[in-house]
Structure 1
Amino acid sequence: MKFITKYKHIVIENMDSKKATKLQLLNFKSISTRTFWITSIAFFLCFFSWFGIVPFMPDVVKDLGLTPEQKWNSIILAVSGTVFARLAIGKLCDKYGPRLCYTWMLMIGALPVILIGFVQTPEQFLICRLFIGFIGASFVITQVHTSIMFASNIVGTANATSAGWGNLGGGANRLGMPIIAAAVVSLGIAEAENAWRYSMIIAGITCFIMGIVYFFFTQDTPEGNFKELKERGELPTSKKDEIGFLEVLKDYRVWILFLIYAACFGMELTVYGTMDDYLQNRFGLSRSFAGNLVLSFALMNIFARTLGGYFGDMFGRLKGLRGRVIFLAVILAIEGIVLTTFSTATSLVVGMGFLIAFSLSVQMAEGATFSVVPFINKKAIGSISGIVGAGGNVGAFVAAMLLKSKSAVAESAAIASNSQLGEQAVKTAQMAASASAVSSGYFIIGGFVVLAGILALTIKFAPVAAETPELVLKADK
């Protein structure tokens, strides 16, 4: 075990290390900076395509005749496929490198995005949404690549910033997709009712092209690609990789982080995926106004997730790895408290205040999580990132199932009890029932997040790493 110590702001690195110790966004001569930008843009495009259908759901429901059950199932399937993809892609990154993994994922993942533009039945739509979810694994590759490219003193900030800017794609599509659709219609390419199909096809083609860009303009590590490093004997054998993966599976800290990421990113996916309808049903907002509000909260990823990584790095410098864990626990607790409070709000102004606080805290918690992940086991960053990343989608799946079950029961009861009062009365009762059910679901979810914050405090490191400030560890195993 090698220990390399940092006093004040001086880091003594191995002479052959080429990892960036600063996040210099305009230093394009640096392979770390170029990789940061390309992986962030690729991540943005993947999330843009993954959730690209969301702004068009009313059109899809009308075009394909989706039932409420099928609509909810499409939301669940969209996050379910990502679980398996993230678990697999992390191990593949450790074995083949992030460059090839991202290239193939972008090019293959583009196919269901394109194909959804050609679906004719609800079943075909649901299948495409399942497979489109695979490109959500882009997050794992992005975190692996930035973890490899940046040194310990800045890795939390780099990870959080690339993830935050990539996450913007999941909100920017609410504005970008309608613009693409409007352009398609104005150019006479398609009628308005079919514009959603062409928008998804364009998004898929863009992802495919980005896969080509990724292959030619990035490399796996500052020292070169995995293939070259293996030829020089600078990477462990596949047998050692397998042992490392088994060690990852046995490490309790990985599974705690799995649950923690379920409590932050998973909750962000679910809350934002249901927030449009909730704001309309709870506060009587118009569809466009509610959508713009959700978009504005998603745009907080520009800075909020970076703040989480930055404070994770800062507390690491002050209090060692234990400092990173303490900050993560605190920000998770804040996230849970503001979500439960938001769920009880009946005033739009008060509700918006707590929703802003939730957006800020949940994104900071995501950044703080991946300021801890790179320090669990540096020999298996990909595998750990994949498992933790999958936790986010498992959390989204469980939360969506909770909200679906509560909402479906409440809406069915409202419809049955008001069926004799006319269509408008049924619709009003259904909206009120849905809002009440989702509100109680948010309250339960907030309580789970608080518990996850308490659980974070059980993450332990070796005493010298956990408690010593200004310490950078490098292990040769």
Structure 2
Amino acid sequence: MSQPQFPKATRINLVDFTSVPMRTFHITWITFFFCFFGWFGIAPLMPVVREDLGLSKGQIGNIIIASVSITIFARLLFGWLCDKIGPRISYSALLILGSIPVMLIGLSNSYESFLLFRLAIGVIGASFVVTQYHTSVMFAPNVVGTANATAAGWGNMGGGVTLMVMPLIFAALVGAGYAAPEAWRYSMIVPGVVLLILGFVYYFCTQDTPAGNLAEIRKDLPAATAEKKESFWKTCQDYRVWVLFLAYGACFGIEITIDNIATLYFVDNFHLGLKEAGLIAGAFGMMNIFARALGGVFGDRVGKRYGLSGRIFILALFLLLEGLGIMLFASMDVLVWAIVTMLVFALFLKMSNGATYSVVPFINAKAMGSVSGIVGAGGNVGAVLAGFLFASESISYRDSLFMIGIVVALVAAVAFLLAVAQRAAISPVTADAAVQEAVA
């Protein structure tokens, strides 16, 4: 709701740690960063887990699917909760509850128990929706795309750092005298404890909006002036939400799939050691330090001139380049060229992520949490569908990636059609301005 005495931030000042929007920005991306340690901390250790628990390729595929499937429902739930109780309490509860299976996954002694813990850990993936909601309510329309993309990008960078750091934690424990089956179990206690601590930090150091927490605002305002929220089901009737659902599945869905399989891919196809493969796979995630933010920057700049249709068009272009890059990567047999092409498609993939959430705040300002949740869930639906390919005993990882590249290119075509339809529906000059008052 609009609160003139507590305006949204109209610029991003990275050295500001005191104003409510910027303090929230920093705490949010740092928290999201460490969420990846909990969510994907086990991924770079899977070669060790595979040997310890005697897992087959199909079982590993099912584990990958489990790690992202429950997130679909968690993102829908927490998007709705953000609208109802605010991001502060929602995020704190998610972090505290999510830390439990992370710390306890080391108790797994079979495929079935490991699968259940991996499924439970997937709930942490809902952290993304809260992150995007919280930055959306803190920043004005002229910079909201950049703020969303930067916070999410720096948070997503945790996926790359995780792939690099977790093998080092494992190696340190082995060096301290623990056997490999013990070391991977104790390694996961570290991210679990961090998430538990951050749950309390988030509760005490952030607030829901620039004007205060939702409970306080609703108590102080007369019922007649309270902002009316649109229902979740009405939000579902907007076809633009579902196009963005597909688009996010084609970018973020593929990102978390690569986070899950990259170490295995380089170990199996290029015969690298765990640490070497983890460093290369980590480079994929490290692209988030700038690439996702670039997608948001492009979205905001094109949006100022061409409105919502321009934002969607730039998203479609990035998706197309991502799809072509994935197909090229899947064709590489030489390690150096595999790394180069991986970084190329990673650039456009992460820019697509940022561009998607430069569109989201302009779809329905009265149901931002629901829109964020549905689109965010699309990322995990994409990951689940991709996971079925990687679970197949008859389809190689290379062939799976090539098919994924084709699908991403097709989704890009759908996004291009939406951009054309949006341009025909509303004047590009007024597209962003039409929602300026509602979003602000």
CA drift of 1:297 comes to 1.7
Which of 105, 123, 129 aligns to 2:112? It is 123
The 1:284–1:198 alpha-carbon spacing in structure 2 relative to 1, beyond 3 Å, is: closer
The 1:80–1:279 alpha-carbon spacing in structure 2 relative to 1, beyond 3 Å, is: same
The 1:465–1:135 alpha-carbon spacing in structure 2 relative to 1, beyond 3 Å, is: farther
Distance 1:75 1:237 in 2: 47
Q: Within the alignment, does 1:440 sit opposite 2:399 as a pair?
A: yes
TM-score by length of 2: 0.92
One-letter code aligned to 1:209: I
CA drift of 1:345 comes to 2.7
Corresponding residue of 1:473? 436
* Identity of matched residues, %: 49
CA drift of 1:122 comes to 2.1
The 1:376–1:461 alpha-carbon spacing in structure 2 relative to 1, beyond 3 Å, is: farther
Is 1:46–1:207's contact at 8 Å kept on the other side of the alignment?
A: yes
One-letter code aligned to 1:73: N
CA drift of 1:349 comes to 3.5
Corresponding residue of 1:251? 238
Q: Which runs of 5+ in 2 are unaligned?
A: none
Which of 388, 394, 408 aligns to 1:409? It is 394
Corresponding residue of 1:223? 211
Q: Within the alignment, does 1:318 sit opposite 2:277 as a pair?
A: no
One-letter code aligned to 1:136: G
Q: Within the alignment, does 1:300 sit opposite 2:287 as a pair?
A: yes
CA drift of 1:447 comes to 1.3
TM-superposition CA deviations, 1:102-156 (whole Å, max 9, x none) = 0000001111111112222221111000000000100000000000101101011
Is 2:305–2:429's contact at 8 Å kept on the other side of the alignment?
A: no
One-letter code aligned to 2:384: F
The 1:205–1:283 alpha-carbon spacing in structure 2 relative to 1, beyond 3 Å, is: closer
Corresponding residue of 2:408? 449
One-letter code aligned to 1:40: W
Corresponding residue of 1:100? 89
Which of 40, 53, 61 aligns to 2:29? It is 40
SS of equivalent residue, structure 2 residue 74: helix
One-letter code aligned to 1:53: I
Equivalent pairs counted in the alignment come to 435
Distance 1:261 1:210 in 2: 27
One-letter code aligned to 2:405: G
CA drift of 1:468 comes to 3.5
The 1:307–1:236 alpha-carbon spacing in structure 2 relative to 1, beyond 3 Å, is: farther
Q: Computing the radius of gyration over CA atoms, which structure comes out larger, 1 or 2? A: 1
Corresponding residue of 2:342? 355
Is 2:59–2:391's contact at 8 Å kept on the other side of the alignment?
A: no
CA drift of 1:347 comes to 3.4
Distance 1:19 1:462 in 2: 31
One-letter code aligned to 1:74: I
SS of equivalent residue, structure 2 residue 9: coil
Over 6 Å off, 4+ runs: 234-239
CA drift of 1:182 comes to 4.1
Corresponding residue of 1:194? 182
CA drift of 1:234 comes to 7.1
Which of 139, 142, 145 aligns to 2:131? It is 142
Which of 344, 363, 376 aligns to 2:331? It is 344
Larger mean CA deviation between 467-476 and 329-338 belongs to 467-476
TM-superposition CA deviations, 1:338-391 (whole Å, max 9, x none) = 111222233334333321110100000000000000000011111111110010
Is 2:235–2:367's contact at 8 Å kept on the other side of the alignment?
A: yes
Larger mean CA deviation between 395-404 and 367-376 belongs to 395-404
The 1:453–1:222 alpha-carbon spacing in structure 2 relative to 1, beyond 3 Å, is: same
Corresponding residue of 1:335? 322
Distance 2:326 2:317 in 1: 14
Corresponding residue of 1:213? 201
Q: Which runs of 5+ in 1 are unaligned?
A: 1-12, 411-436
TM-superposition CA deviations, 1:2-21 (whole Å, max 9, x none) = xxxxxxxxxxx984352111
The 1:465–1:206 alpha-carbon spacing in structure 2 relative to 1, beyond 3 Å, is: farther
SS of equivalent residue, structure 1 residue 26: coil
Corresponding residue of 2:385? 398
TM-superposition CA deviations, 1:149-178 (whole Å, max 9, x none) = 011010111101111111112121122223
The 1:341–1:166 alpha-carbon spacing in structure 2 relative to 1, beyond 3 Å, is: same
SS of equivalent residue, structure 2 residue 394: helix
Larger mean CA deviation between 318-327 and 275-284 belongs to 275-284
